[in-house]
Structure 1
């Protein structure tokens, strides 16, 4: 069943992020569904002003990772004046695709429904994902024909095409590419992209769902990482045909996901892109 963002948000474990109030920030952990991983940390400035939103989605091969690894980045965006939602989601070891996209959509719906609680401007937010989280973020961006209020999607080393990752990992000595191939199979429920599983693999392909009202995207890759820039080329082509702007950017090296984000100049450029789309 799809996670539903209904009723009041359910408090999760308390997160103490600014105990002395130095930054003027408030935070709490909220459950947006019944599963233990359907939770998000929310950081906001309780000054009576509504603020643009940033939704962060962690990576981890779809099968691991936790929002805790995004805490520092969450704080950075909160300090910049955004209301920030740092998401957990059901892992592929717990539920097959599209559960991960469903969870991200449910978290966004919960945030919109209770926007006044967190001073969120529901007409002005972005989704930022890292690696497997970049795949989820981009899939949110191409779900349906646009989402009200979504002004942009950013992917750091995003797996735009699990099919491409599956093929790239077939005959290679690169252990990361081989692991990504296996991770994509696990995400699809344990089966290869043929026969009865063809539909779920098609659902996982971000570029195949491009629509004219989708949000613009920024994707960033290292030139020699195991999720190469070619992953974003089809997305740029397909969204471009629909009239949606996609900016693809690559930097030298092999840095992946959070390591790529910490490469000098990358975080600053991502922040500039977000600012230009949120104001």
Structure 2
């Protein structure tokens, strides 16, 4: 039996809240998992991943699923700032004990994975990403002719799957940044984040999907050059984030469990 507490407000000013999923045997030693939902920073919400929240609680984690500001009403770095604000709130809240930061882990799906990377670099939480996009400035520069749309098939009659994915990639990127200014896009690139405190990281990506595998490999190489390790799992197919997340939940949780065990 999982107990769910909905709409726990963590930012009164922005009216942002999180849902909390408690395992039935929750104690002060229960580990905490933050799940960051995807949606291209312009859609998605905590309700859409309720079933996953239940699964994560059943796996033994007190699970928090926060909402964050969405574009185009809120542009970069609004969602990133919300993520840090949520973590600061959580650590200071009654939901955590003193020094509980060492008991927090993360999973992020799609752009939620991008935000998880941002948080992980600052706090060191063990983290798993599902299809986290990591490169924006170079990608936008290299795709000047791509027409941006969340539904390219309907809007432009495009039928090629890769062209549809490219159209969506450009759409959600520019919707969140609100500009194609390369200086802004570079700040959104994952390699621009502060990884001073980066801890254990696992990235899961499909071989051919929305997030180009070439950009992920470049990012892994970037981290390696900083002597920062990454586990990368490339799975067959073209599914993105939540398309395969449930199928690789065991691998994700095993990574987090093993990491926590080594830290104890």
Tell me which interval the TM-score lies in, with the shorter structure as reference length: 0.7 to 0.9
Q: Which residue of 1 aligns with 2:155?
A: none
Give the number of equivalent residue pairs. 245
Aligned to 1:254, the other structure's residue is in SS state coil
Distance 2:29 2:10 in 1: 21
Q: Does 1:31 align with 2:19?
A: no
Distance 2:51 2:174 in 1: 31
Task: Give me the TM-score of the superposition, normalised by structure 2.
Answer: 0.83
Distance 2:73 2:85 in 1: 17
Task: Give 5+ residue unaligned stretches, structure 1.
Answer: 1-22
Q: Residue 19 of structure 2 is aligned with which of 14, 17, 41?
A: 41
Q: 1:137 to 1:169 in 2, by over 3 A?
A: farther
Q: Which residue of 2 aligns with 1:50?
A: 29
Distance 1:163 1:102 in 2: 20
Q: Residue 105 of structure 1 is aligned with which of 78, 81, 84?
A: 84
Q: 1:255 to 1:244 in 2, by over 3 A?
A: same
Higher relative contact order (CA 8 A, sep 6+): 2
Distance 2:15 2:113 in 1: 18
Aligned to 1:233, the other structure's residue is in SS state helix
Aligned to 1:226, the other structure's residue is in SS state coil
Q: Which residue of 2 aligns with 1:193?
A: 181
Shift of 1:41: 0.5
Note the aligned Cα RMSD (angstroms). Answer: 2.4
Q: Say whether the 8 Å CA contact 1:212–1:242 is kept in structure 2.
A: no
Q: Which residue of 2 aligns with 1:177?
A: 166
Shift of 1:35: 5.3
Shift of 1:182: 2.0
Distance 1:131 1:121 in 2: 27
Deviations 1:100-133 (A, max 9, x none): 1111111111111114469993322112111111
Task: Give 5+ residue unaligned stretches, structure 2.
Answer: 147-159
Superposition pairs of residues 81-92 of structure 1, within 5 angstroms: 81-92=60-71
Higher helix share: 2
Distance 1:48 1:226 in 2: 39
Superposition pairs of residues 100-179 of structure 1, within 5 angstroms: 100-116=79-95, 121-142=100-121, 146-147=122-123, 150-167=124-141, 169-171=143-145, 174-179=163-168
